[in-house]
Structure 1
């Protein structure tokens, strides 16, 4: 099970967590048509991605809620949030931009 990977990580990333969640959701959907094992793996990977996002949010909150400013990363994060329909990711991306 990969859910421990996110909690063991010393540097959780909101961007990576969202990207992993999208990939896991695709894996789970494909698995629903092809294989129960793949579907279950996708669900497990989604749980791990959510844990990574929670850890990244907690780390951000402990730093006073400030995100690292990075124009390029912010644009990518905001665009990914828009594409996936994740308002939280869009907001984080907007905050990250200078």
Structure 2
């Protein structure tokens, strides 16, 4: 179902970001990259936790993403989650392409 597909995509994204955490510390300015990766990772964890309880039977979120972002206090974290949302949409496109290509 779409619900399991969304959660699976979030888990894959989490692992992808997790795999970048250690190498990012050895790159040019580790503070910028590491902080953004940590924010993305935290956002994915929140989405996975919320997604497991707030997805309806059709697999769509009960609240739009924008409402979720507005409930967060920090502007930088909210901006990072918006980027994550775009990343998620792109990953859906990739997933669809790979399904069709099979």
Q: Considering the TM-score relative to the shorter chain, is it more than 0.5?
A: no
TM interval, shorter chain, is 0.3 to 0.5
Higher relative contact order (CA 8 A, sep 6+): 2
